[in-house]
Structure 1
Amino acid sequence: MRIVLAGSTGVIGRRLEPFLTARGHEVIGLARNGPLAVDVLDRDAVVAAVRDARPDVVMHQLTSLSTGDLAANARLRRDGTRNLVDAALAAGVRRIVAQSIAWAYEPGADPATEETPLDLGAEEPRQTSVAGVAALESAVREVPEWVVLRYGTLYGPDTWYARDGLMAQFAAAGRVPADADVSSLLHVDDAVAAAVAALEWPAGVVNVCDDEPAAASQWVPAFCAAAGVPAPPVTAGERHGWARGASNQFARRHVGWVPTHRSWRKGFATL
């Protein structure tokens, strides 16, 4: 297949391209400083680039996270995705695989499933991120065959949660709480493997995360130990209702995806 990989210079995109090429796919990287040098916020440029590439599939792995500016990332999800979907439709592309997140769900007691609604009533600053996710997923659904990968919190090389990553720096400064909020984590290599597999998955939303949602009071000290920085004190109190983690049971049962790093407990050893 000919695949336009949007976000080819990102953390996932850099790993994804050689995996796809090794499987016989022809990959055209699209990024601001990629082989197809395009600013995804420039609609006309995106439409022209995708038209000229003539892809069978668009792979959407666009993020804007290097500076930690969540508003900029939400704009990319909203406006960049809109441009990418319009370009795909204009070029007759029938399939898109897009990156989303697994922590935009509404509050609840248990790990969220794919049937759990998004937290559209969230207050700021969370509202900005959730609205960006909702816009991304709504646009992607316009393509005839679509898969949305709701990734857990990424860790591993070049992510925020690496030995030299942003969150290791924050943790060293005492800015990463070890509280009751629950997260589902995902090794970056498992994110890449899921994106490759999703080329063959039926249309729909899939939570892509490890097997063990956990409170920050459990996983943050383990991350700090792996990153070689002091762990913060564990703090008491109730979790935020939306900080519930996500279930990967749909991925296991219906599309046969199982993470190689099944728990952050062992996955952090790779740091």
Structure 2
Amino acid sequence: MENQTRLESWNNYCDDFVNHLRNSKAVLALLGAGLSASSGISTYQGSGSTWQNHLVRDLATKSRFERDPVLVWEYYRHRQAEILSAVPNAGHFALAGLATIKPDFLTITQNVDDLSQRARHPPELLVPIHGSLLDLHCTNTSCNYFHHHNSHDPHLHPQPSPPTPSCPLCTSLLRPSITRFGDPLPPSHLSTIESWFSAHPTIELMLVIGCACTVSPAADYIDKAKEKGARIAVFNVEFGRQALCLEQEDWFFEGDAGVMVPLLLGKVVG
């Protein structure tokens, strides 16, 4: 009897979310590393995360890149190869499907992979706020070289290529087009997000998927959405209600985002 009561309570909880999602017009999603983790991509979350005994927070900085570009490019290649060997999971496809039926659904992804794009998420409704590890640009500020999605770049396969890739226009060092620790976020992406907020005086729902949201601007977007009336739905394996100060009317779905997101969104997307 107790198990049946719990099941009924869980079903009602899920139905409440699904009905609200179905009836929502303006929906915002914020994606973090937990979504792509289901596709086998390392999260490197937390200030103490390391790669080959190097702090990731140190590797992913401008100063470390300038001091030791060979090491940092080795780290970048490792991550690029991981991305290229991964495939979008059901969560990516569910979000892309939701975007096709809700034109006022904007997704902000903090992930630097291309899994949302490969799931055919409409590009006009997707803001990759931290850039992409598969895009390259020249470090020479006087050079405008940019290469989009270098999945066939020989530098992804280190032997016998040089340790660091050079710009074909000016021979300066290339680097991935990502926002590193300490870098400002791209103004164009921030403008797109602000324009979306301005265009929607009321926001019915915000999905927070696979991220802790402990730093700006991620945490700020949750507050802004709440100010416009949004209920918040969190999908994560590690962070509960207290972590995001959720209200009683909000939802927390604990578990693998690649499983929980399609399970719930699938009831609306089909």
The structure in which a higher percent of residues are helix is: 2
- What TM-score do you get using the length of structure 2 for normalisation? 0.29
Q: TM-score scaled to structure 1, two decimals?
A: 0.29
Bigger relative contact order (CA 8 A; separation at least 6): 2
- Quick check: which has more Rg, 1 or 2? 2
